[in-house]
Amino acid sequence: MPLTSDRPNPTAQTSPTQALASSLPYLRRYARAVTGSQSMGDNLVRMTLNAALEDADLLERISQSRVGLYHAFTGVWTSVDPDVGRDGAGPEDGSPSQLGRVSTLRRQALLLSQLEDFSIPETAQILAVSDEEAEELVKEALADIARDNVADVLIIEDEPLISTHLADIVSSAGHRIVASATTASQAREAYALHRPTLVLSDIQLADGSSGIDAIEDILKIGPVPVIFITAFPEKLLTGEGLEPTLLISKPFREETVLTTISQALFFGSNLNA
pLDDT digits (tens, 9 = 90+) for 57-74: 999 899 989 999 999 999
CATH 3.10.180.10 fits 152-272, yes or no: no
**pLDDT digit string, tens, across residues 83-124:** 555 544 444 444 444 444 455 888 899 999 998 999 999 999
In one letter, which amino acid is 180?
A: S
Asked if residue 251 has a cis previous peptide bond (ω within 30° of 0), the answer is: yes
For residue 25, give every residue at least 6 positions away whose Cβ sits within 8 Å of its Cβ, in sequence order, or none. 233, 234, 237, 238
Torsion of CA 8, 67, 236, 109, to 10 degrees: 110
How much is the pTM?
A: 0.77
Q: How far apart are CA 168 and CA 173, in angstroms?
A: 9
Looking at 1.20.140.160, 3.10.129.10, 3.40.190.10, 3.40.190.170, the CATH number of the domain 82-148 comes to 1.20.140.160
Residue ranges matching CATH 1.20.140.160 in the chain? 82-148
Kindly report, as residue ranges, where domains of CATH 3.40.50.2300 are found in the chain: 152-272
Q: Which fold has domain 15-80?
A: Rna Polymerase Sigma Factor; Chain: A (1.10.1740)
Residues whose CB is less than 8 angstroms from the CB of residue 46 and which lie 6 or more positions away in sequence, other chains included:
none
Question: pLDDT, tens digit, for every residue of 113-150?
Answer: 998 999 999 999 999 999 999 999 999 888 877 766 78
